Structure 1
Amino acid sequence: MITEVARIEIDPADAVAFEAAVGEAMRHFRVAPGCRSFRLDRSVDRVGHYQLVVDWDSVEAHMVDFRATDGFAAWRSLAGPFFRTPPQVDHVERALQGF
């Protein structure tokens, strides 16, 4: 399993609408093959900054399979208008488990 971490910046004045849009888009991730979990984290220190954290079976499940779906297009249609800059996306895997 890999984790997609997308760092997103929006106008802080749009926070409520952005969070609602991501909540609406969540259903497209829920039904995507290979998608295991989905969450949106809001920065406490940097207003208007978020992290979208999605667990996938593989990088291909995200970058190839999901990106070819209408669900990805819907996600971008719902959330994309709020992005100040393109999201910075990394795929990570656990290197060490602590507590």
Structure 2
Amino acid sequence: MITEIATLTIDPARAADFEAAVAAAAPHFKSAEGCHGMSLEKVIETPGLYNLRVLWETVDHHMVTFRSSDNFQQWRALAGPFFTDAPKVVHGETVGQYF
């Protein structure tokens, strides 16, 4: 399982609307091939900074299949207008789970 972590920066004054837009986009992730979960975390220390965490079977399910889909276009249409900076995306793989 691969975890995508996308760091998203928005105007803090628009946080409630942004969070609602991400919730509205959830079905586009849920129906995406290879997607196994999605969550949004607000960074406490930095208003307007969020981490979107998405679980994918493989990196290709995110970078190829999802990115070339209508689901991705719908996600960006909903959430993209809130971004004040380009998202920063990394992929991780669990190498140990200790408790």
Q: Name the TM-score, length of structure 2 as normaliser.
A: 0.98
Paired residue secondary structure (1:68): coil
Q: Residue 54 of structure 1 aligns with which residue? A: 54
Q: Name the TM-score, length of structure 1 as normaliser.
A: 0.98
Root mean square deviation, CA, Å: 0.6
Counting only pairs closer than 5 Å after superposition, residues 1-99 of structure 1 correspond to structure 2 as 1-99=1-99
Paired residue secondary structure (2:67): helix
Identical residues among aligned pairs (%): 49
Shift of 1:68: 1.0
1:65 is aligned with what amino acid?
A: T
Shift of 1:95: 2.0
Q: Tell me which stretches of 4 or more aligned residues in structure 1 moved more than 2 Å.
A: none
Structure 2: 5+ residue stretches without partners:
none
Structure 1: 5+ residue stretches without partners:
none
Q: How many residues align?
A: 99
